[in-house]
Structure formats: structure tokens, C-alpha cells
């Protein structure tokens, strides 16, 4: 089977209370966390997992602590870490459709987009606490041509050595992306794990719409993955190719 190389791509950061990532733990402690995307290649295909934010000022309404340097703009960051132009990206996989994970979808005009059908439907019918995070301008028909979407109904193999598994909890149709690498299976988890402590400490993140499913999703990640790149893990460095061990 082909081995993949996966790299962390930082598309900004957010200053927030630690407890926002780890339920009530760490309340009152301010931390800065990255917004992670990932670039991956098997030597043939160029794959991007998540696309960061759309517009800094707009995202500030949902997350007042957001910071983005010019080199963290998604297109600039993908170019800097992967050396890819946006039109070279073959596949974009969105873990979910929150606006810090699909914000720059519209910049990747030639890509095929993979999302769980359930997430697509949820994004157009957000629950009240989800409203600030679902910005339809990131994924509607003007952002991404409808025919570029591949809607998934559950776990799927996208390419040899590249699978998605459903990991609901943070959102209703959330998925995580698994890459078969030289070191083992790397899980790009999106926000089912904001930080590695969620899976390794069995501790839910703050934004959870399905509580039991969140813990089942942690279990799926533990069963399938050796390493994890969580959606906002501060211990990972920009451009890193090695990630956090799943315990
Ligand atoms: Zn999210």
C-alpha cells in the first residue's frame, strides 16, 4: 500500500480560555491555539484536509480572539508548507463545515470536495448554539460548485492508504481523516479532538452537540490511529510531519 506524507499547515491562531478545549478543565487560563489544516501526498495526489477561515473580520464575530498573519492565509500557508498552488490541489476533505475548517474552500476551484452528507445537511439547518460557526458563504453553491462535492454516507476509502471515518459529536456529521504513513496511521481529527487531551484524557471539548457519540468517536480514533493531529493542538509545530501519540 502507498505510504502518505502528512504535514501540519497553520492557518491562524485563536486566543481563548483553555476550558474551551477541555470542557471545564483549565477555566481562567488563557492559551493560544493554532487553526490546523493538513496537506498530504502519496507522491501522486495532492490532498488538503480543511481550509481554515474565510474572512478574518467575519470570523472574529464567532471567535473574538482570532489572529492571522499574512503567511497564515490558507493559500499562502499551503504554498509555504506544501509548495502547491490552489489549482493543483486534487482533493479537499472537510472534517466538518465550521467556518474555521472550510472557510477557504472557494479558493480551491479545481478540487473535488469530500464531506459526510449528514454534515452538509446539518450545516444548512444549524442548531441554535451552532449558528455562529456555520457560515454558508463557505460551502454554498457560490463557494463550491455542487458537482464538485462528493457526499459520503459513513466510513469510506478515498484512495489507497487514505480513509475517512465518521466521528460525530462536535457536529452531527463530523468525520476524521486517516492516512497510512511510514510511522503508522495518522488521524487528522478536526474538532472531535480540539487537542490531544480530548482523546488521550477521554475529555470532551466544549462544543459538543452529541455527548455519548463524542466518547464513541474517541474510541474509534483510539482503535484506528497511532498518531493524531487535532484541530487546534498547540504542541504541534507549523509544517510538522510527526504528531501526537494516541494512547
Ligand atoms: Zn468546529
**Ligand 1 centroid – CA 129 distance (Å):** 12
Ligand 1 being an ion, which residues bring their Cβ within 5 A of it?
98, 191
The domain locations on the chain are 5-245
Helices (H), the chain: 56-60, 74-82, 117-123, 196-200, 211-224
Q: What is the pLDDT of residues 99-126, one digit of tens each?
A: 999 999 999 999 999 999 999 999 999 9
The string of DSSP letters for 91-136 reads EEE-S---TTTSTTGGG-TT-EEEEEHHHHHHHTS--GGGGGG--G
**Ligand 1 centroid – CA 16 distance (Å):** 14
Q: What is the pLDDT, as a whole number, of residue 160?
A: 97
Q: How many CB atoms lie within 10 A of CB 247?
A: 10
Identify the DSSP state of 153. -
Q: What is the pLDDT of residues 190-240, one digit of tens each?
A: 999 999 999 999 999 989 999 999 999 999 999 999 999 999 999 999 999
Q: Which of 209-229 are b and which e, b meaning 16 or more Cβ less than 10 Å from the residue's Cβ?
A: beeebbbebbebbeebbebbb
- For 5-245, CATH gives 3.60.15.10
**Ligand 1 centroid – CA 196 distance (Å):** 15
Amino acid at each position: 500500500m502507498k505510504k502518505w506524507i502528512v504535514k501540519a499547515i497553520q492557518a491562524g491562531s485563536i486566543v481563548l480560555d483553555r476550558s474551551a478545549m477541555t470542557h471545564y478543565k483549565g477555566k481562567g487560563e488563557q492559551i493560544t491555539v493554532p487553526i490546523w489544516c493538513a496537506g498530504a501526498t502519496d507522491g501522486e495526489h495532492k490532498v488538503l484536509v480543511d481550509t481554515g477561515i474565510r474572512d478574518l473580520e467575519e470570523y472574529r464575530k464567532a471567535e473574538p480572539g482570532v489572529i492571522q498573519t499574512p503567511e497564515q492565509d490558507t493559500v499562502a500557508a499551503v504554498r509555504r508548507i506544501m509548495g502547491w498552488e490552489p489549482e493543483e490541489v486534487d482533493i479537499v476533505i472537510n472534517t466538518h463545515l465550521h467556518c474555521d475548517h472550510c472557510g477557504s474552500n472557494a479558493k480551491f476551484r479545481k478540487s473535488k470536495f469530500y464531506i459526510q452528507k449528514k454534515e452538509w445537511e446539518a450545516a444548512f439547518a444549524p442548531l441554535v448554539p451552532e449558528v455562529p460557526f456555520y457560515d454558508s458563504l463557505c460551502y454554498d453553491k457560490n463557494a463550491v460548485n455542487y458537482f464538485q462535492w462528493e457526499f459520503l454516507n459513513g466510513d469510506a476509502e478515498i484512495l489507497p492508504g487514505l480513509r475517512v471515518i465518521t466521528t460525530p459529536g462536535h457536529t452531527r456529521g463530523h468525520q476524521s481523516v486517516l492516512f497510512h504513513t511510514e510511522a503508522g496511521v495518522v488521524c487528522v481529527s478536526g474538532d472531535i479532538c480540539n487537542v490531544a487531551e480530548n482523546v488521550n484524557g477521554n475529555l470532551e471539548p466544549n462544543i459538543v452537540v452529541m455527548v455519548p457519540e463524542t466518547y464513541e468517536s474517541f474510541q474509534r480514533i483510539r482503535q484506528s490511529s497511532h498518531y493524531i493531529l487535532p484541530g487546534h493542538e498547540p504542541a504541534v509545530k507549523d509544517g510538522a510531519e510527526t504528531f501526537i501519540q494516541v494512547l
